[in-house]
Amino acid sequence: MNDNKKIHYERGTEELRKKNFRAHKLVQEYNNCEIEDSTKKEEIIKELFGGVGFNPSIEHNFHCDLGYNIHVGDNFYAGYNCTILDMAEVKIGHNCMIGPNVGIYTAGHSIEPKDRNKSGYGIPITLGNDVWIAGSCVILPGVTIGDNSIVAAGSVVTKDVPANTIVAGNPAKILKNI
């Protein structure tokens, strides 16, 4: 985990509230689009995200915190119920697939109970090119997943994943090299 890039924030500030409301309105509009209106969906994603490559596809019931911290490459696909908590930057490479019910969480809170609910932090997450995150996985703050890697269904990724590997489990461990 790269704590050098840790971003601290105060919950409930007016600036953060405005940014969150903007994202939630766009997410609500996206999730309520007509299923076959791919043009409108792509327009909303391009307005919501900080960067979008060619041919993005995200199934309904998508959620995020701010949106503008999310950057996806060409041919990005996210399955149903994808949640990206983007209090810090999330960079996703080209040709990445995210299965249903996946959570990508840059956000966290202090382990100290006093005022835990008043502030938090975000640590960037990076997914390389040609990464496949299977269904019901969780990617935790500060993780980098290398090119061509696969995260098996139901895994919780707590540490970086080298390129060209398959990981599985909770916490995820390397099963084999590709």
Task: For residue 12, give both structure tokens.
Answer: 């409930």
Is 109 annotated in the active site? yes
Give the integer Cα–Cα distance in Å for 100 and 79: 4
- Which of 24, 63, 94, 109 is the catalytic position? 109
From CA 101, how far away is CA 144, in angstroms rounded? 20
Q: Which residues are catalytic?
A: 109
